[in-house]
Structure 1
Amino acid sequence: MNATSASLSGTTARAPAVAMLRLLGGFQISQALYVTARAGVADELAAGPRPVGAVAEATGLRPDLLRRLLRSLAAERVFAYDEERDSVALGPLGHTLRGGTDESVREVALMWMETHYRPFGRLWSTLHDGVPAAERELGRPFFDWLGEDPDRVAGFSAAMADLMRAVRRDAIDALDLTGVRHLVDIGGADGTCLAALAGRHPWLRGTVFDLPHVVPAAHDTLRRAGVADRVDTRGGDFFQAVPEGADAYLACFVLHDWNDEQSTRILERVHEAAAPGARLLLVETVLGRGPAPEIATMLDLTMMGIVDGRERTLEDWRSLLAGAGFRLTRAVETASPMCVVEAVRTDR
């Protein structure tokens, strides 16, 4: 064996450990991404490469430390660092940290690191007693804590809007609204989803339904989209009641936040409000389905740590819906990690 083959053999033998070290260092990468997202580094590079010193001056970061951070994220294909010119450009993934673009997840980077990161240090306890790590860390259920601060609510709504544009868009495009005149978006947050649907379907009327302190954010979204004359808002608690009389009810990435008992309560309120034959449209992940199944398993871990929810298999969805008086009719896979789960109200 020559020196080259010995070196290659050693590298191959160490490959699992190297791969594991990258996984173990993921918490550092997520924080580095947060710093660049919060400082607006990707936005500074929208027009092309710039000297690191100029980016540091524009963002208020120390150039020597920014340079080291950019090198680390260049290995993750977020930025492209030119050592010779001491300049930086966006890498293949960098545009996703710019604000306001179709594929942006900048608000997700901010929200996850500001609300999810610290609680996950308590995951050990969750795996022993089932109490979500966030509830133990924050002293109360996550959504109760979130609702106490308008800035947290705004940040969460902005992150959900990013996810709708960047990850759920294909599923929203796949929604079949044939015959639907009035659609209620349950847990509709800032109205981004229903605004898009109403803009696409000029006959559609809609109602954005969410907690009273959340729905005010929808007013500006609907007005900017030019659909405020057809889409209204209602504040309330979907565990108590939802608006009545719609042709169809939409829940986009809502039920995964809740355990089966809580999800059944929400679905029962929809069943009470809906007329016989009304349709239910769920935009959710389905474990084992779609082009990026690893997103569903990652989100399942998120649900475990932050709330008492879960991602579900198709049979899980079928059973959950049947228990609340709905018959699953089909599940539509899309180009995104999200599926459209369709159901119809039945007599119980």
Structure 2
Amino acid sequence: MTTTDDRTTAAAVDPGPLIKLTIADCAAKVLHSAVALGVFGALADGPADADHVAAATGLHERMAPDFLDALAGLGLLERTGDRYGNSPLAEAYLVPGTATYLGGFVELTNETLYGTWGRLTEALTTGAPQHLDPDKGGFVGDRHKDPEKMKRFFAGLDAYSDRMGVEIARAVDWSRHASFTDLGGARGNLAAVLVKEHPHLTAGVFDLERTRPLFTEHTTRLGLDGRVAFTGGDFFTDDIPKADVIVLGHILHGFDTDRRRELLNRVFAAVNPGGRVLVYDRMIDDERRDPERLLSSLHMRLVSQDGSEYRVGDLRTWLAGAGFADSTAQPLLGTHTLVTAVR
């Protein structure tokens, strides 16, 4: 039974944040649809009115005004009078064909997140990971039996690893090292960025053998055939190629703590003396207060049996246990943390 005191207390608390949180996915879907329809590409040559955008993208006249104004309200478009233009953010990352295009990553998240997060309540009550069924149109990333869908998966990751590679290229003093191996480097996109930024480096990728054809196709297209070597194998059963630097990006969050320790021990054995390890993930802050990082961890628990994000302090402890020293942590792209340590 609701009392007068209850109503008075509720009236003193603004429900606005709760309402915004309730419909937060609406904003994301607006972005996803804008990328899918090509809105930002349609405005790449400069501002235009709604009729021009509708003609270029197939927007229905009934939907266009609210849709375009919502994009403006979200900071993705800028409206002057009746004309719309890309905002600086959209111009930098959402125009197809540009070197910094992140639309592939937007499409990847749209296709992979909603099906699994729609089953969150089931996962929370059963503890079971929620996998998409490829036989029902689902998408299971690099394990998909359809090569074209695998390419789409990697293309989405490439859109993000381009920016990640540039950041890592600047965050580390690579002049002190001669070689690196990107562990789980897929088709070599991050390795390609690093070797372009630092041509003196001998570059390698270590990933499952099934990835080799996609790696060869991609590095050849980038004009790096022979510049980045591919070694096929399993992290836990095959020798990791020795290098001055070994990079682990989005790797440790796929395993439980024991497997993480085991892998870091194997990495220590592969890093040349005086070299270092680089680890980046959406690591949880040590106080476990950052909601975005905790949501990333929940996502890993949702889609995998053993995965989760982990605290920075925990990783530094595991690195020390493997034999590494002088670990440091720094933010990466505002969404990740980069931890480095010396062998």
Who is 2:300 aligned against? 303
> Number of residues paired by the alignment?
326
Query: What SS does structure 2 have at the residue aligned with 1:234?
Result: strand
- Which structure is higher in RCO with an 8 Å CA cutoff and minimum separation 6? 1
Partners in 2 of 1:61 and 1:149 — Cα distance? 31
Who is 2:267 aligned against? 270
Q: Counterparts in 2 of 1:147-226, with a 5 A limit?
A: 147-166=144-163, 169-223=166-220, 225-226=222-223
Relative to structure 1, is the Cα distance of residues 104 and 230 closer, same or farther in structure 2, using a 3 angstrom cutoff?
closer
Listed one character per residue, the Cα deviations across residues 208-251 of structure 1 (whole Å, up to 9, x for unaligned) are: 12223334333354345544333211222223224333222111
Amino acid at match of 2:87: G
Contact 1:190 1:217 in 2 (8 A): yes
Who is 1:317 aligned against? 315
Partners in 1 of 2:168 and 2:159 — Cα distance? 14
Who is 1:253 aligned against? 250
Q: TM-score with structure 1 length normalisation?
A: 0.80
Q: Give unpaired runs (5+ residues) of structure 1.
A: 1-12
Contact 2:165 2:194 in 1 (8 A): no
Query: What SS does structure 2 have at the residue aligned with 1:63?
Result: coil
Deviation at residue 30 of structure 1 after TM alignment: 1.8
Who is 1:93 aligned against? 89
Query: What SS does structure 2 have at the residue aligned with 1:104?
Result: coil
Match of 1:31 among 29, 32, 37: 29
Deviation at residue 278 of structure 1 after TM alignment: 4.8
Partners in 1 of 2:332 and 2:243 — Cα distance? 29
Identity %: 27
Partners in 1 of 2:227 and 2:87 — Cα distance? 41
Contact 2:244 2:273 in 1 (8 A): no
Deviation at residue 185 of structure 1 after TM alignment: 0.8
Contact 2:141 2:149 in 1 (8 A): no
Who is 2:64 aligned against? 66
Match of 1:131 among 128, 131, 148: 128
Q: Give unpaired runs (5+ residues) of structure 2.
A: 1-10
Relative to structure 1, is the Cα distance of residues 342 and 142 closer, same or farther in structure 2, using a 3 angstrom cutoff?
farther
Contact 2:282 2:309 in 1 (8 A): yes
Contact 2:141 2:150 in 1 (8 A): no
Partners in 2 of 1:70 and 1:264 — Cα distance? 49
Amino acid at match of 1:157: F
